[in-house]
Amino acid sequence: MSDNVTLTIDGVQVTVPKGTLIVEAAKQIENEIPVFCYHGKMDPVGMCRMCLVEVGQPAIDRGTGKPELDEDGNPVVRFFPKPMTACTTTVSEGMVVKVDTSEAAVDDRKAVLEFLLTSHPLDCPVCDKGGECPLQDLTIRHGPGNSRFDYEDKQHFPKRYPLGDLIVLDMERCIICARCVRFQQEIAFDPVLAIENRGRRAHIVSYSKPGFDSHYSGNTTDVCPVGALTTRDFRFGARAWEMTNVPSLCNHCGVGCNTVLGTRAGTIRRIMPRQNEAVNELWICDKGRFGHHFNGSPDRLTTPLIRKGEELVEATWDEALSLIGEKFGAIKSANGADSLGGIAGARLTNEDLYVFQKLFREIIGTNNIDHRVGLSAALEDETAFTVGVGVGTDLGSVGKGTTILNIGADLDQDAPILYLRVAGASVKRGAHVINAGGRRTKLDAQVQTTLRYNYGSAARLALGLLASVVSQGLVAKEWADSRTSGMADLEKALKNFGADKVAEATGLTTNAIDAAAKAFAEAENGIIIFGLEAGNDPALRAALEALALATGHAGKPNNGVIAVLPHANSRGAIDMGILPDRLPGYKPVESNAGLSAVEMLTAGGVKGLLIAAADPAVESESYKQALQQLDFLVVQELFLTETAQMADVVLPAKGNAERDGSYTNLERRVQTFDMGVPAPGKAWADWLIFTGIAGQLGADWAYASADGVMAEITQRVPLYAGMDFKNLTAPISLQRKTEHYIYEGMSFTTDIREGIQWATVAESDSAPKIPLRFIEPAKASSQEQGLTLVAPRMLYDGGRLLAEADVVNAHILEPQLMLSRSDAQKLGVSTGDSVTVSQNGTAITVPVYIERTVSEGVALLPRNLAGRPAEKLVGPNGLYSTVKVEKS
């Protein structure tokens, strides 16, 4: 029997797979059945009754078991006596559905709308949803013109009820469709909303503490089909029709969520998700949604500044650029090109970074460039070049048969939308997720297997898994033989390394490691994710690469490795060769490698430094001292950061909403964003500034736009071939659109672009064999006694880009040491007491907070908080270290 069924909807025949819902089948023939509670991303519940249709089935003759035929030989259709909800009824062969052709169904829907409006306040003029409201739209299309109910007899609720401090509820407008409740339950896995009471007294509540405690709360305002949920940030920011919707990208983490800037009168009013099924589906996290206020900040730099004695005074671009040209030129001729260097943050676009490295390599003549300061230095990754996830990988669709191994990434904090997709793969679609980490993270609750290893032993765990794959005979022989080399050597090295030591070092049982290895190797698809807390260890990366290759989980969609790099364009920074030893496209440098950021930020490292979009001065005292000793420091920034205050020349740069460009996300997807609002004052785009500096040093580049720079990248960096803006901004194909176009509940649309992923070595059959690498992990540092202090990255931190976002500021933690109850008891402290945390003579004092979710032996003190206490102990580039904690 075929897996398709054919049915007739309003006289039109359509063939769809078995199990399809009537609404979805109707969508395929562009018959839009009105819905409120149904949402393509959530399980149907049939709560609102808006989708009532008449459904009939061919009558079967009981005697013969054959379909009954009428006189003309057509099958007789028996209609169900009552209307059915199209959102919960699945199709069947020969079914006849009447949507608009049935008077009864039309009447039923009219009645449902009349009922929904009996208690609706009808305050559309002051409602943020007005103008893009499904209730308005469907009432006009399907509703009655007037109501038979008494206007005075409406149910009243408080108008402005804060569910949490980000989301405001207007219960009078709610139609109890439970989309918000279901979103939190089924998609965000933060079930913090519920419906209380029934009938007309039913209302939405949040019992979490603090209220509506979720990183994804803003999405409920998008899925809400009425204006019941609004964000405190946008409330009354503009009417829906007044805004210009500009396609953009979030610049807060490496996921690269597609967003829409709603702009009006030169300012950003709101940020909404833009559908991209391959990246963020229909969602963005609250940081991405609310963290845009830095753009319009009054503290932005608006003009170049030049140091005159102690003061930084305003200057023109000509003065600033020619001074830089003069000073850099002088330093170069006196001390050689290698006395100059550059540090560029991973928030810059590919175009900026490409021009940056070209300036240093081709015009100045040095390889002293790097992007690895702060968090960027805490995780490196070159495995993407060989075994990055295959082109076409879609974490939003993988399920049964897929094993995802996550090592050391706290996805809910580091890459929130990736968390949704991984948790969804596990809970909704049945993928096997193995969450390996040194501490408990939120993902643990959503996965089948958790592995808790000792901090610092991630590389050993990876090698243990690899060794276990080999010893259990699970190597994908054929593939590995044809595509990799050095298997025999690897096996030998693994034997010498000793798998038995792994259990001891990691604190895991051999059984657990074997089971995980088996689950990963035997899965149809295998994806490895690793993050900051796995440690910045080449041995780990070599082991993970070998693990992916040996198990054949590389070189095809839904297989391979994802490094959860920290910033919006961390991947692009590596691709563009912002490294002292690598050129764009992962080519090693031809001549000598240059100095790394850490070396440049050591006293005497270089004499002149250009720092763009990075703030090393706050990361560490020693960096600050090194910066003070420079002859000449140029800083290119949005704000007068601590580093900028030390500069000789400060150049104002444009924020990402003020220009166009491209980012490469952690799945190597290159995506573009457009300009939304004008830049403050005289700020320039970063690539233009670099071009200007190059001009002063004798270059005759003629880049006129980011587009033009990208055109050169496509020529000179083979990985990026074909990625000119024309291709990157091309709207998705019609077919993809009908597959994915489910902008449920949002009536505005803007370009849907999917971006382009570059292909890894493993994906090209003609590429040379990939050598399997083995790197001996560094010896565990002397077994100091004490707690492991972990300085995780929090979604809401004290970074400059969030500082202006008032609504999320309350969510930024005060520095506090989070301890497990048992460790706190051992120390004899309780919440609120202060403790001294020390390591190698550095000590800080912080209050204690006993946190249920912290595991024993681990103390958490997030990084990048006020005063940066954590960085003092773990260092500017680390995530954890062993410390002594004492009651003070």
Partner 1 sequence: MINQLKDVVTGSAEIAKAMGVTLKYFFKKPVTHQYPDEPVEVYPRFRGRHVLKRYDNGLERCIGCALCAAACPTDCIYVEASENTDEKRYSPGERYASTYDINMLRCIFCGYCAEACPTEAIVLEHDFALAEYNRWDAIYPKERLLEPHDPDYIVLRSDEEFKLSETWGKK
Q: Which residues bind partner 1 (CB under 8 A)?
A: 123, 125-126, 130, 159-160, 235-236, 238-239, 241-242, 265
Least spacing, CB of residue 130 vs ligand SF4, in Å: 11
297 to 192, 319, 444, 637, 678: CA distances (angstroms):
33, 26, 38, 13, 13
51 binds, among ligand FES, partner 1, ligand SF4, none (CB under 5 to 8 A by kind): ligand FES
Q: Is 48 an interacting residue with respect to ligand SF4 (CB under 6 A)?
A: no
- With CB under 6 A as the contact rule, which of the stretches 168-176, 240-248, 462-470, 711-719 interacts with ligand SF4? 168-176
49 binds, among partner 1, ligand FES, ligand SF4, none (CB under 5 to 8 A by kind): ligand FES
Rounded Cα gap, residues 293 and 143, in angstroms: 40
Least spacing, CB of residue 155 vs partner 1, in Å: 18
Instruction: Restricting to residues 512-541, name those near ligand SF4 by CB under 6 A.
Output: none
Q: Which residues contact 850 (CB under 8 A, 6 or more apart)?
A: 818, 819, 820, 821, 824, 830, 831
Nearer to partner 1, 234 or 796 (CB): 234
- With CB under 6 A as the contact rule, which of the stretches 64-72, 153-161, 413-421, 816-824 interacts with ligand SF4? 413-421
Whether the link from the prior residue into 210 is cis, omega within 30° of 0, is yes
Contact 756, 669 (CB under 8 A): yes
Rounded Cα gap, residues 242 and 506, in angstroms: 57
Nearer to partner 1, 29 or 265 (CB): 265
85 binds, among ligand SF4, partner 1, ligand FES, none (CB under 5 to 8 A by kind): ligand FES
Distance of CA 859 to the CA centre of its chain: 26
| Number of Cα atoms under 13 Å in the Cβ half of residue 495 | 7
Contact 656, 248 (CB under 8 A): yes
151 binds, among ligand FES, ligand SF4, partner 1, none (CB under 5 to 8 A by kind): none
Q: Is 564 an interacting residue with respect to ligand SF4 (CB under 6 A)?
A: no
47 binds, among ligand FES, ligand SF4, partner 1, none (CB under 5 to 8 A by kind): ligand FES
Q: Is 425 an interacting residue with respect to ligand FES (CB under 6 A)?
A: no
Instruction: Restricting to residues 256-295, name those near ligand SF4 by CB under 6 A.
Output: 256-257, 280, 284-285, 287-288
Q: Is 87 an interacting residue with respect to ligand SF4 (CB under 6 A)?
A: no
What distance separates the 2 farthest-apart alpha carbons in the chain? 104
Pairing of strands 787-790, 817-819: unpaired
Rounded Cα gap, residues 509 and 200, in angstroms: 55
At which residue do the structure tokens 């009532």 appear?
52
- With CB under 6 A as the contact rule, which of the stretches 114-122, 172-180, 543-551, 796-804 interacts with ligand SF4? 172-180
Question: How many Cβ atoms from other residues are within 10 Å of residue 856's Cβ?
Answer: 12
At which residue do the structure tokens 């029997």 appear?
1
Hey, which bits of 130-227 come out as E strands? Answer: 161-162, 167-169, 193-196, 203-206
256 binds, among partner 1, ligand FES, ligand SF4, none (CB under 5 to 8 A by kind): ligand SF4
| Three-state secondary-structure class, residue 641 | coil
Select the residue interacting with ligand SF4 from 337, 417, 618, 829 (CB under 6 A): 417
Nearer to ligand SF4, 175 or 377 (CB): 175
Q: Look at the alpha carbons of 276, 277, 280, 282 in this order and tell me if their dihedral is positive or negative.
A: positive
Nearer to ligand SF4, 649 or 756 (CB): 756
Least spacing, CB of residue 599 vs ligand SF4, in Å: 31
Hey, which bits of 132-238 come out as E strands? Answer: 161-162, 167-169, 193-196, 203-206, 229-231
What token pair was written down for 328?
């850099």
Rounded Cα gap, residues 804 and 233, in angstroms: 12
Select the residue interacting with ligand SF4 from 21, 99, 188, 255 (CB under 6 A): 255
| Per-residue x/- track, 351-390, ligand SF4 (CB under 6 A) | ----------------------------------------
Q: Is 175 an interacting residue with respect to ligand SF4 (CB under 6 A)?
A: yes
123 binds, among ligand SF4, ligand FES, partner 1, none (CB under 5 to 8 A by kind): partner 1
Nearer to partner 1, 149 or 236 (CB): 236
- With CB under 6 A as the contact rule, which of the stretches 220-228, 236-244, 338-346, 602-610 interacts with ligand SF4? 220-228
Number of H helices, E strands in the chain: 29, 39
Rounded Cα gap, residues 135 and 48, in angstroms: 12
- With CB under 6 A as the contact rule, which of the stretches 79-87, 224-232, 467-475, 476-484 interacts with ligand SF4? 224-232
For ligand FES, how many residues bind (rule: CB under 6 A)? Answer: 12
Question: How many Cβ atoms from other residues are within 10 Å of residue 587's Cβ?
Answer: 11
Nearer to ligand SF4, 136 or 368 (CB): 136
What token pair was written down for 441?
């993270």
What token pair was written down for 576?
């563009």
643 binds, among ligand FES, ligand SF4, partner 1, none (CB under 5 to 8 A by kind): none
Q: Look at the alpha carbons of 813, 819, 825, 829 in this order and tell me if their dihedral is positive or negative.
A: negative
Nearer to partner 1, 296 or 401 (CB): 296
Q: Is 348 an interacting residue with respect to ligand SF4 (CB under 6 A)?
A: no
Least spacing, CB of residue 139 vs ligand FES, in Å: 15
User: Which one-letter amino acid corresponds to residue 419?
Assistant: Y
46 binds, among ligand SF4, ligand FES, partner 1, none (CB under 5 to 8 A by kind): ligand FES
The full DSSP string for 368-421 is: -EE--SGGGGT----HHHHHBPPTT--TTT--TTEEEEEES--HHHHSHHHHHH
Nearer to ligand SF4, 305 or 657 (CB): 657
For ligand SF4, how many residues bind (rule: CB under 6 A)? Answer: 28
312 to 124, 631, 645: CA distances (angstroms):
51, 16, 8
Phi-psi region for residue 166, left (φ > 0), alpha (ψ -120 to 50) or beta?
alpha
Nearer to ligand FES, 138 or 301 (CB): 138
Nearest to ligand SF4 by Cβ — which residue?
Answer: 288
Q: Look at the alpha carbons of 307, 308, 314, 316 in this order and tell me if their dihedral is positive or negative.
A: negative
- Nearest-5° Cα angle at 729, 727 to 734: 85
Rounded Cα gap, residues 159 and 228, in angstroms: 9
Least spacing, CB of residue 174 vs ligand SF4, in Å: 3
Residue 791 DSSP symbol = -
159 binds, among ligand FES, partner 1, ligand SF4, none (CB under 5 to 8 A by kind): partner 1
Nearer to ligand FES, 138 or 633 (CB): 138
Least spacing, CB of residue 137 vs partner 1, in Å: 16
Q: Is 304 an interacting residue with respect to ligand SF4 (CB under 6 A)?
A: no
| Per-residue x/- track, 72-111, ligand FES (CB under 6 A) | -------------x-x------------------------
Rounded Cα gap, residues 551 and 690, in angstroms: 44
What token pair was written down for 660?
């166009």
50 binds, among ligand SF4, ligand FES, partner 1, none (CB under 5 to 8 A by kind): ligand FES
Helix spans in 280-394 (H): 286-290, 317-335, 350-358, 383-387
Instruction: Restricting to residues 10-69, name those near ligand FES by CB under 6 A.
Output: 35-38, 46-51
- With CB under 6 A as the contact rule, which of the stretches 149-157, 225-233, 681-689, 732-740 interacts with ligand SF4? 225-233
| Number of Cα atoms under 13 Å in the Cβ half of residue 299 | 10
User: What are residue 311's DSSP bridge partners?
Assistant: 308
Nearer to partner 1, 243 or 666 (CB): 243
Rounded Cα gap, residues 766 and 483, in angstroms: 9
Where does this chain bind ligand FES (CB under 6 A)? Answer: 35-38, 46-51, 85, 87
| Binding residues for ligand SF4 (CB under 6 A) | 174-180, 204, 223-226, 228-229, 250, 252-253, 255-257, 280, 284-285, 287-288, 415-417
